[in-house]
Amino acid sequence: MSKQGTLAFIDREQSSAAIRTDTGDYTIVELDVELPMDIGDAIEWENDDALGFEIYLNRSKHIEYEVFVQNHALDESALRLQFAV
């Protein structure tokens, strides 16, 4: 089953991003921040349990990203600890 979310935060210094899922939690990934992406882009991925290298699809830009998944299902307080949001 695929999971979907919206790109909510990009930290170019840490080469990471937070994706807000449709259930209201966050998935944190490391990625090449030089790739085309904007806050609000629709993101989709297949495995919501997998950590490590995965392929995520930016549906807004029709581009696949190879990302390193750090964590799934973070709440907003945990997100604030990881990023200066």
Give per-residue pLDDT as tens, 4-39.
999 999 999 999 999 999 899 999 999 998 999 999
* CA dist., res. 66 & res. 77, Å (int): 27
In the 8-state DSSP scheme, what is residue 40? T
Q: What share of the chain is helix, strand, coil (3-state, %, to 5)?
A: 10, 50, 40
Residue 82, SS3?
helix
**pLDDT tens digits for 55-81?**
999 999 999 999 999 999 999 999 888
- Report the pLDDT value the prediction gives residue 64, as an integer from 0 to 100: 97
Of residues 1 and 67, which shows the higher confidence score?
Answer: 67
Please give the Cα distance from 7 to 43 (Å, whole number): 7
> Which pLDDT band holds residue 40 (cuts at 50, 70, 90)?
very high
| Token pair belonging to 72 | 């799934």
